[in-house]
Structure 1
């Protein structure tokens, strides 16, 4: 169940939103002051923040900036102002969306659910890919782990090894690897593939002396054991 923190100084609006979230199977907690909300976020885990721009004790923009110092939790601004500059500021300091009062509580809940789905998809993409041959590919950081150790790879070594990892047991010809890894690289010869395979094997054996996961298929190309 998703847990939403509502930071809103108008009790009637907060109660309406809480009811709408409960109707959609989501938990909601209400705080009317920015300072209290920041304390709440430091002590409890939430999946989403609904934040009113005009709070009694501090600006919602300042609350957002404080949150973004330590967290990337999804956040949607609520405001009575319909000025473009306010929307721009809100988005620039880290908000995911912006809703102007008066609004439909169901629309707000729908926007929250949409942002949460998008955030979950981004998180899934960011998860390192695990492979049964003791490799872990972190595509966002362009790193590969082998037996829990990060390999020190050049750009082309990384791209070459990642290609083999993504389709284990598939035999890639040298031409195919050239087209995938060395795209737009001019004056590159087929033997470049062989040279990079050799250095990759050496680096894998530095981690595991018995490593022999890259297989040579004579006259055909290379594959990775699964």
Structure 2
């Protein structure tokens, strides 16, 4: 599933509401901030959940270009500049800093959606998966439940990310033993115990599992509807 969470930094509250409502109509999730320092704090804490940033330049207490640089120091998330500064000097500077696009106000919200779509097509977001309250950073092997990092043991992490690597495919008990640190411990009960712990940590009900389904006589399947 592609990440479709937008961070909007725009101090015009009327425009902010308009953009957010429009994005929701196109199946984007929008989190909006009018104060740059609040937006920066949010991005520092939850940068993994955002696919793209829409950034106004004329912000209170901090110039948009300064905020742009601080954001890029945290994570190289794509940024579209949305601003009334339409002179060529600002455009050139924005692209030199690494902006993915530059939209001069006023513009139709539909154009912004098209620019977002085009920008995200250039990026592969498969390294971050969103599943309801779960957020999974595949590359760095980190998982978050309701924005709190899940503390897996070494073996739990190995099994969990093995499931993630094989989403919607059956993973056999034999594969779990051979491809994790379990190696010599082939007892089914040991595997079941680790999977039970994983289920508990990702808030998955063992009686009516949403993610990890048991496949009788074989192993497990991690379900995710794309």
TM superposition score category, shorter chain reference = 0.5 to 0.7
Distance 1:106 1:36, change over 3 A: same
Partner of 1:110: 114
Larger Rg: 1
Partner of 2:13: 11
Q: Find the partner of 1:101 among 96, 101, 105.
A: 105
Q: Which runs of 5+ in 2 are unaligned?
A: 128-226
**Does the Cα contact within 8 Å between 1:48 and 1:75 map onto a contact in 2?**
yes
Q: Find the partner of 2:38 among 20, 36, 39.
A: 36
Alignment of 1:15-30 (within 5 A): 15-30=17-32
Alignment of 1:50-65 (within 5 A): 50-65=54-69
Q: Give the 4+ runs in structure 1 shifted more than 6 A.
A: none
Find the residue that maps to 1:119 and give its secondary structure: coil
1:80 equivalenced with 2:84 (yes/no): yes
> Looking at both structures, which has the greater relative contact order when contacts are Cα pairs under 8 Å and sequence separation is at least 6?
2
Quote the Cα distance in structure 2 between the aligned partners of 1:98 and 1:11: 20
The normalised TM-score by structure 1 is: 0.53
Partner of 2:146: none
Q: Which runs of 5+ in 1 are unaligned?
A: 124-226
Alignment of 1:77-226 (within 5 A): 77-120=81-124
| Number of matched pairs | 125
Quote the Cα distance in structure 2 between the aligned partners of 1:58 and 1:94: 19
The one-character-per-residue Cα deviations of 1:40-94 (angstroms, maximum 9, x if unpaired) are: 1011221110000000110110011001112110100011121000001111112
State the shift of 1:121 in Å. 8.4
Partner of 1:183: none
Find the residue that maps to 1:76 and give its secondary structure: strand
Find the residue that maps to 2:6 and give its secondary structure: strand
1:66 equivalenced with 2:77 (yes/no): no
**Does the Cα contact within 8 Å between 2:51 and 2:125 map onto a contact in 1?**
no
The normalised TM-score by structure 2 is: 0.53
What's the C-alpha RMSD, in Å, of the aligned pairs?
2.0
**Does the Cα contact within 8 Å between 1:64 and 1:94 map onto a contact in 2?**
no
Distance 1:98 1:122, change over 3 A: farther
